[in-house]
Structure 1
Amino acid sequence: MKNNKGFFFVFIATIILGVLISMNFNFKGIQSYSQLNATEYQNAVEERAALYRDIGNLQEDNNEKKDKIRNYAQNDKKNDKILDDMKTQISDYKSFIGSNNVEGPGIILKINDGTTNALEENTDEINNKLLHDNDMALVLNELRVAGAEAISVNNHRILPWSGVICNWAFLGFDDGGMEYAPFNIYAIGDPEKLKAALLEDGSHVKQLMLRKLYVDIKVVDKIIMPPTTANSNVKYMSRDESKK
């Protein structure tokens, strides 16, 4: 009987303690919560929502960074290949605009003025045996059409946009450079194709030979060509972004 009474009192005390705990009762006599008005409650809700958004953004950003790190780790070899391809492409562009030393098979076209005799020939006959700027321009154009990938006149590298003018006994170029006869024109490309194109009937080189200028064509296995000394910076041309 005594044991039953003791158990009963303990049971009642346990229930009372549970009720106090569920009511958030502070044994020091002070309530642990405060009553919020409508404005404070709304601010608290908004602050909680903002915190949830910040946490979500941080999680999303963290996931993106993890994905980037994973891609970098998995694609190192691929990225190296892309970088190598870009370097090769830049090198090709530099070769195209004449900024690099280049070498390869091709021909050496040597042109010099013909032998003249001022006592026996008139002015027109003498001029006909001289190489003029329009002659050089036509020869350079024939080499380009025949497939020459790089051209130089003596030590002057010819660019795709190079122009040539007559300057007394010299041939001048648009960048201020000048060369004098005899002119050794180096052309890198298919040697046989270049030579055949220059010796075709109707070619300008053939016309020079008929005009009795000195012309010699030599096929060579290797030509080493210096880079241009001209400024190849583009001032006015820009990429058209409207068509991709």
Structure 2
Amino acid sequence: MKNNKDFLFVFIATIILGFLISINFNFKGIQSYSQLNSSQYQNAVEERAALYREIGNLKEDNIEKIDKIRNYVNNDKKDDKILEDMKAQINDYEMFIGLSKIEGPGIILRINDGKTNAMEENTDEINNKLLHDNDMALVLNELRVAGAEAISVNNHRIVPWSGVICNWAFIGFDDGGMEYAPFNIYVIGDSEKLKAALLEDGSHIKQLMFRKLDVDIKEVDKIIMPPTSANSNVKYMSRDESKK
């Protein structure tokens, strides 16, 4: 009889232990897994894909640098090769900070004040249909986030340190330049990506449309931008030469 009881006890214990193992039970009191809903799972998949792309880009960049170093080592005219690469890099920097005339595909974003009626609308309603400096600042920021490589408002080249202010019927810039409506914002970059970002829900361009401003986006194959008229001289900033 005692043997039967022992067998029954072992049998029940075995069943319980098997059940705990099957549900992945952690004997420290903490479950070792968590369930994801569909949205969390999709976010995790996208994050993993982004990490894979980032790793791939880093590998390609690393291979490119290794090849460049190998060319320097094996090249009989090392100094000439280094000087050539430095000049090419300076040209790239000049394009990025707006010091040179450039061209490329992209979009033309046209923004004009909405139609107003002083006889039927109050001051707030009229102001709501006008483009202000804070609107322009938000639009420029959205373009940068969307991947714009270069931006020009009418004939005024926008650079990384460009600031905008409201000057009555004009949009003023920190270098003293001014532009007036309609504003043709020329943007060099991936036209499809830029347009999609500007028209997605929650964008400031969508808010401007909701406020009844006149907004139009056109994809173009070639945009030519002038160099900036802003002062690019560095006065206070200097390179940190300290060892890290």
Question: Could you tell me which residue of structure 2 aligns to residue 197 of structure 1?
Answer: 197
Q: Map of 1:207-222 to 2, 5 A cutoff? A: 207-222=207-222
TM-score, scaled relative to structure 2: 0.68
CA distance in 1, matches of 2:148, 2:204: 16
**SS of residue paired to 2:77:** helix
- 1:79 aligns with 79
- What do residues 112-141 of structure 1 show as CA deviations (whole Å, max 9, x unaligned)? 000000000000000000000000000000
Equivalent residue, structure 1, for 2:148: 148
Q: Distance in 2 between matches of 1:79 and 1:166?
A: 51
**Corresponding residue number in structure 2 for 1:179:** 179
Kindly state the Cα deviation for residue 78 of structure 1 after the two structures are TM-superposed.
2.5
Q: Distance in 2 between matches of 1:242 and 1:236?
A: 17
Q: Find the counterpart in structure 2 of residue 167 from structure 1.
A: 167
Q: Give the aligned partner of residue 105 of structure 2.
A: 105
Q: Distance in 1 between matches of 2:182 and 2:211?
A: 16
Amino acid at match of 1:125: E
Structure 1 residue identity aligned to 2:154: N
1:134 and 2:155 correspond: no
SS of match in other structure, 2:157: strand
Corresponding position of 1:115: 115
Question: For each residue in 1:66-88, what CA deviation from the matched residue of structure 2 results, as whole angstroms up to 9, or x when unmatched?
Answer: xxxxxxxx955332221110001
Structural mapping, 1:5-154, within 5 Å: 76-154=76-154
Q: String of CA shifts for 1:162-209, please: whole Å, max 9, x gaps.
A: 000000000000010000000000010000000000001000000000
Where 1:185 maps in the other structure, the secondary structure is strand
Q: Which runs of 5+ in 2 are unaligned?
A: 1-73
Q: Name the aligned partner's letter for residue 81 of structure 1.
A: K
For the aligned residue pairs, the C-alpha RMSD in angstroms reads 1.2
Q: Counterpart of 1:240 in 2: which secondary structure?
A: coil
> 1-side partners of 2:173 and 2:241: how far apart?
33
C-alpha distance in structure 2 between counterparts of 1:75 and 1:202, whole Å: 54
Structure 1: state its 5+ residue gaps.
Answer: 1-73
Q: Partners of 1:107 and 1:234 in 2: how far apart?
A: 31
The Cα shift of 1:161 comes to 1.1
- Which residue pairs with 1:44 in the alignment? none
Percent identity of equivalent pairs: 87
Which residue number in structure 2 is paired with residue 224 of structure 1?
224
Q: Secondary structure at the match of 1:115?
A: coil
Q: Size of the alignment, in residue pairs?
A: 171
Q: What TM-score results when the alignment is normalised by the length of structure 1?
A: 0.68
What amino acid sits opposite 1:237 in the alignment? M
CA shift at 1:97, angstroms?
1.1
Tell me how far apart the structure 1 counterparts of residues 75 and 214 of structure 2 sit (CA, whole Å).
Answer: 60
Secondary structure of the corresponding residue to residue 237 of structure 2: coil
Cα distance between partner residues in 2 of 1:210 and 1:142: 17
Aligned AA for 1:159? V
Q: CA deviation at 1:231?
A: 1.1
